[in-house]
């Protein structure tokens, strides 16, 4: 017994239903992505870069007062007064001029006191008194490091 095979039986032709399903899935994908792009454009972000300012920015010039272990005082490596002078008239006069120049330039007068570890505290108090007379209140303390 011989079974006859019809050659047209296995060929269903071009099927449109699966193609419509694929097109709907792709269309849904693009509709969702179009909404995400719109939301992303609405974010207010600022990237880092240069910023324009209306006034000029001045950098603070820091003055360094050094107190040695022997009591000698120097401003920016220039010695002032004697190691025994408690009043420090030269340092006071220089600090007053520094404060006047800073006020005229509208910048803060910044002073850092670098004290040796073996320096007497009374010498630091003398320097602070000179800063108080000059009305400089932006003062930082540090201790000199051994090299």
Question: Percentage of residues in the chain with pLDDT exceeding 70?
Answer: 75
Residue 103, domain extent = 62-143
Q: Residue 141: which H helix or E strand, with range?
A: strand 138-143
CATH number of the domain residue 100 falls in: 3.30.420.270
Quick check: helix, strand or coil at residue 83? Answer: coil
User: Domain for residue 103, yes or no?
Assistant: yes
pLDDT in tens, 36-55: 665 555 667 677 776 666 66
Cβ atoms 64, 75 nearer than 8 A: yes
- Give the per-residue pLDDT at 5: 64
Residue 17 lies in a domain: no
Q: What is the percentage of the chain residues whose pLDDT exceeds 90?
A: 20
Q: What is the total count of domains within the chain?
A: 1
The string of pLDDT tens digits covering residues 85-137 is: 888 889 899 999 988 888 888 888 899 999 888 888 888 899 999 999 999 88
User: 3-state SS of the chain: helix, strand, coil percent to 5?
Assistant: 35, 15, 45
Q: pTM value?
A: 0.57
In-domain check, residue 104? yes
Distance CA 114, CA 40 (A): 53
The rounded mean pLDDT for the chain is 81
């Amino acid at each position: 017994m011989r079974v006859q095979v019809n050659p047209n039986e296995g060929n269903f032709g071009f099927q449109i239903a699966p193609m419509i399903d694929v097109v709907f899935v792709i269309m849904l994908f693009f509709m969702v992505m179009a909404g995400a792009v719109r939301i992303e454009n609405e974010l207010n972000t600022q990237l880092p870069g240069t910023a324009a300012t209306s006034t000029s920015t001045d950098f603070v010039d820091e003055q360094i007062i050094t107190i040695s272990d022997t009591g000698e005082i120097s401003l920016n490596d220039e010695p002032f007064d004697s190691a025994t002078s408690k009043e420090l008239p030269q340092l006071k006069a220089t600090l007053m001029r520094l404060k006047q120049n800073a006020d005229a330039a509208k910048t803060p007068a910044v002073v850092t006191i670098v004290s040796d570890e073996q320096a007497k505290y009374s010498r630091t108090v003398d320097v602070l008194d000179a800063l108080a007379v000059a009305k400089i209140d932006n003062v930082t303390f540090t201790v000199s490091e051994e090299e």
